[in-house]
Amino acid sequence: MFLEVEGVSKSYDNGRVRALDGAGFAVAEGQFVSVIGPSGAGKTTLVRILNGSEQCDAGSVVLAGQRLDQARGRAKRSMQKRLGTIYQDFALVENVSALANVLTAAVPDMGFFPAALGLFGPDRRDRARRLLDRVGLADKADTPVQDLSGGQKQRVAIARALMRSPALLLADEPVASLDPVTGRQILELLKDIQRAEGLTVVMNSHNLDFARAFSDRLIGLNAGRVVYDGAADTPDEALTAVYAAAPEAAP
Amino acid sequence: MTRRRRCPGWVWFLAGLALTAAAAWFTGCDVGLLWARRDHLADILRRMFPPDWGYFARVWAPLWATVQMSVTGTALGSFLALLTAPLCAAGLGAVPAPVRHILRALVQVLRSFPALILALAATFLFGLGAFAGTAAITLYTFAIMTRLTYDDIDAAPDGAFTALTAMGAPPCRAFFAAVLPRIAPSYLANALYMLETNVRHSAILGYVGAGGVGLLLSEKLSWREYEKVGAILLALFLAVCLVESASACLTAIVTGRRKAGRGLRRAIIAASALLFLACTATVGPPDFAHASLRAVGNMLLGLVRPDWAFFFQGGTGGLGWLLLETAAIALAGTAVGAALSLPLALLGSGRLMPRGAAALFRLIPMAVRSVPFLVYGLVFIRATGPGAFTGVLTIAVCSVGLVTKRFTEAIDGMDMRAWDALAAMGVPALLRVRYALLPQLLPAFGSAVLYRFDVNLREASVLGMVGAGGIGAPLVFAMNRFQWPTAGAIAIGLVLMVWLVDLLSARLQKR
Ligand SMILES: Nc1ncnc2c1ncn2[C@@H]1O[C@H](COP(=O)(O)OP(=O)(O)O)[C@@H](O)[C@H]1O
Ligand SMILES: [Mg+2]
């Protein structure tokens, strides 16, 4: 399998909050997988562990045969270079242009001094412009991100993630802060790109309809455990465990 | 795809650095000298602490006069600015364009003069005492507030105003209904900020005889009674703390960051009105004994018929040279001040330091800021002697307060999400600073430094009064000897310099 997650646990506040509790699943190359679950189920924590932002307490994450969870320093960064992540709140640098934001994704491939001086070179600039064109923002390349709408910002973030030519694209509630119409457009774009490039996508969503409509497979998370793993076109009843109140959360 | 390549940021940075280095060389900056004389400075500081506690009792009255001048001056100046600003605003069309341009030019001219020079001029009209000081603070506030307010009016969307006037509402009514509510929060916040700075400004006005604690300060400094200086500075620090915390609290309310009920609002308005009345009613009356219409006439005539020979005189004694020295002092001082501010800002940021430690470190710039800048000049001159280098040191130290505050705000306001996102893509930490943090910090740092440079230009032009170089000495000398044509030439030079720097910094701000 391309991505193998096994028995991943993570707690916060000295073990008082268990965000993930032995979660495990595997994803084949080219799949579009949605992780669904109520708020607080551990979806964000999972994505942060998958992209190396967070260290898990137990378990293993294997990406294309390499242990991501045990990698440190340079080795970890070289694995992270193969990932792209998009976020609910975009995580862009607001007061620089869309193009400059996309170009930041080229920094890991460059030497220190060219990167520090911003000498990206014509090839990378052209590629960044083409990606902005791909997400429909060719005319906004030089606009500061703060002057863009929410949907446009997420398009910039997608272009930035694609700039890495990622082996795995992670998305943490990519449309939760957008209106439904814009959200659907963004997901259609994402699906389009995923099909065309054969990308592997793991997307978090608390919106079941979107998850069903765009993914090949659902993974249901509840209180940090995988409680459903199967087809996207399953009847609602099969998902009751996902949205059941967690025992810990009950008053 | 061929596009015009913009000059990269680091080219500008290097150009600025080179200019600053030139200014430092021009002003004879000599760190070795400062280090060699460090004992002098340490000695003065040691003698200030502990202060002469018994002397406190004598400080309250002049301190009250200082607060009085700033409260009354700020209130009157802000009020006059509110009346004038609509006339200067382009969007409202209250007056024909030529009149508007003349008004704006007058405000700009007034804005070029430091409060101390205005106060000196006021003493010729109103005699020595707090009345002259109040008049100076009023004028100074008026000039700055008018500028800030008409900028705000121009920036506010004018749809509602246009709609109301189109329906036949008189412009005045439309202004009150559509424009005033929009600009009110920022107007009040600006006025409160002016109050804070004015307390510090009025603390030195006594130096030219315009009342307040300044006279006492310069007297004790020249007699080297540093224990008493310490007492005065401590009292001043307390007053500044009080005014700043009150103003911070009020600013939070007027900008809507803190909620205040109707009762509290009324209480605040009543208390402010009471304070204003108490301050205004007790300002000493003007003393016209030494003023005459002829003197006033001569003063204005000097401005109209300046000494052009002096104006165009070249060489080291000429006006151009003195102005250049003033600008160089301001530039080098601002640069050194910014360099000092950066570590202080990092230490004072709640992001990087534990809360308690950060709060303690924030006291340093606050304490540094509460000391009037001429006092630094008088202290540094004991160590490094008269000359432009002393001016640079003075400007550097008094820049620290405001610049550190702005830097800290920028650091605290940083958005770390992009930082995390870049980390997740495998960008190393230093390059993360370069790409996720610097773009957020640099504009804020740049505008803080530019703003302070603008202020420093004015402060540098009075430093000469204590022998710390620049245009101040000849200006004050000319004024005290009633050489109005010379003073007029210098004043015109000052106006031109400030105007030029204004244009430049507006260009830079756009980047
Ligand atoms: N940095 C953190 N510190 C403390 N608790 C956290 C932190 N991040 C997440 N949690 C807790 O872990 C649980 C799972 O959170 P999260 O992964 O954000 O869930 P989801 O994204 O599904 O809403 C929640 O109870 C949350 O409060
Ligand atoms: Mg979440």
**What pLDDT sits at residue A188?**
93
Tell me the residue range of the domain where B447 lies: 301-510
Alpha carbons B451 and B445: distance in angstroms, whole number: 10
Domain check: are B188 and B337 in the same one? no
Domain check: are B269 and B403 in the same one? no
Indicate which ligand has the atom closest to the C-alpha of A21: 1
- Cβ burial, residue B228 (10 Å; 0-12/13-18/19+): buried
Domain check: are B231 and B321 in the same one? no
Count of Cβ atoms closer than 10 Å to residue B271 Cβ: 11
**Backbone angles phi and psi of A5, in degrees to 5:** -110, 125
% of chain B beyond a pLDDT of 70 = 98
pLDDT bin (cut points 50, 70, 90) of residue B490 is very high
What is the pLDDT averaged over residues A219-245? 87
**What pLDDT sits at residue A250?**
39
**Which of B3, B14, B419, B425 would best serve as a mutation to test chain A binding (most A beta carbons within 10 A)?**
B425
pLDDT bin (cut points 50, 70, 90) of residue A18 is very high
Give whichever of A232-236, B266-270, B364-368 has the largest mean pLDDT: B266-270
Q: Which residues contact B419 (CB under 8 A, 6 or more apart)?
A: B432, B436, B437
Cβ-contact A84, A75 below 8 angstroms: no
Residue spans in chain A of domains classed CATH 3.40.50.300 = 1-82+166-251
**What pLDDT sits at residue B5?**
54
Distance from CA of A232 to the nearest CA of B (A): 29
Ligand 1 atom showing the smallest separation from residue A38 Cα = 22
- Which residues in chain A have Cβ-Cβ distances shorter than 8 Å to B426? 76-81, 108
What is the pLDDT averaged over residues B366-381? 86
**Final residue in a domain of this structure, among B219, B248, B281:** B281
The strand pair at A17-27 and A32-36 is best described as: unpaired
Take atom 2 of ligand 1 and give the residue whose Cα is closest.
A12
- Cβ burial, residue B294 (10 Å; 0-12/13-18/19+): exposed
Domain check: are B378 and B504 in the same one? yes
Domain check: are B259 and B329 in the same one? no
pLDDT bin (cut points 50, 70, 90) of residue B215 is confident
Q: State the DSSP code for A35.
A: E
A51 C-alpha to center of ligand 1: Å? 16
Average pLDDT, chain A: 91
Domain check: are B425 and B350 in the same one? yes
- Cβ burial, residue B246 (10 Å; 0-12/13-18/19+): middle
Distance from CA of B9 to the nearest CA of A (A): 9
Q: Is the pLDDT of residue A204 over 90?
A: yes
Residue B47 lies in a domain: no
**What pLDDT sits at residue B6?**
60
CB pair distance less than 8 Å for A105 and B435:
no
**What pLDDT sits at residue A246?**
57
ipTM: 0.91
- Which residues in chain B have Cβ-Cβ distances shorter than 8 Å to A90? 417
Domain check: are B208 and B314 in the same one? no
Reported residue count of chain B is 511
Average pLDDT, chain B: 87
Cβ-contact A163, A128 below 8 angstroms: yes
Domain check: are B276 and B305 in the same one? no
Q: pLDDT tens-digit profile of B40-86?
A: 888 888 888 888 888 888 888 889 989 999 999 999 999 999 999 98
**What pLDDT sits at residue B210?**
80
Residue B394 lies in a domain: yes
**What pLDDT sits at residue B299?**
83
Q: Is the pLDDT of residue A242 over 80?
A: yes
**Final residue in a domain of this structure, among B247, B281, B315:** B281
What is the pLDDT averaged over residues B420-427? 92
pLDDT bin (cut points 50, 70, 90) of residue A57 is very high
Number of domains in chain B: 2
Residue B408 lies in a domain: yes
Distance from CA of B430 to the nearest CA of A (A): 9
Q: pLDDT tens-digit profile of B108-133?
A: 889 888 888 899 888 888 888 889 99
CB pair distance less than 8 Å for B427 and A117:
no
CB pair distance less than 8 Å for A118 and B8:
yes
Take atom 21 of ligand 1 and give the residue whose Cα is closest.
A44
Note the pTM of the prediction, 2 decimals.
0.82
pLDDT bin (cut points 50, 70, 90) of residue A247 is low
What is the pLDDT averaged over residues B147-151? 91
Ligand 1 atom showing the smallest separation from residue A206 Cα = 22
Q: Which residue has the tokens 């995580």?
A: A91
Residue B79 lies in a domain: yes
CB pair distance less than 8 Å for A117 and B10:
yes
Q: pLDDT tens-digit profile of B216-260?
A: 888 888 888 899 999 999 998 898 888 888 888 888 888 888 888
Q: pLDDT tens-digit profile of B305-342?
A: 888 888 888 777 788 999 999 999 999 999 999 999 99
Percent of chain B as helix, strand, coil, to the nearest 5? 80, 0, 20
Measured from CB, residues less than 6 Å from any atom of ligand 1 are A 12-13, 17, 19, 37, 39-45
Per-chain residues with Cβ under 5 A from ion ligand 2: A 44
The enclosing domain of B175 has a CATH number of: 1.10.3720.10
pLDDT bin (cut points 50, 70, 90) of residue B1 is very low
Domain check: are B93 and B233 in the same one? yes
Q: pLDDT tens-digit profile of B435-478?
A: 999 999 988 898 889 889 988 998 899 888 888 888 888 998 89
Cβ-contact A2, A27 below 8 angstroms: yes
Fold entry, domain A1-82+166-251 = Rossmann fold (3.40.50)
B51 C-alpha to center of ligand 1: Å? 54
Residue (of B65, B64, B210) closest to B136 by Cα position? B210
Ligand 1 atom showing the smallest separation from residue A224 Cα = 14
Residue B87 lies in a domain: yes
**What pLDDT sits at residue A187?**
94
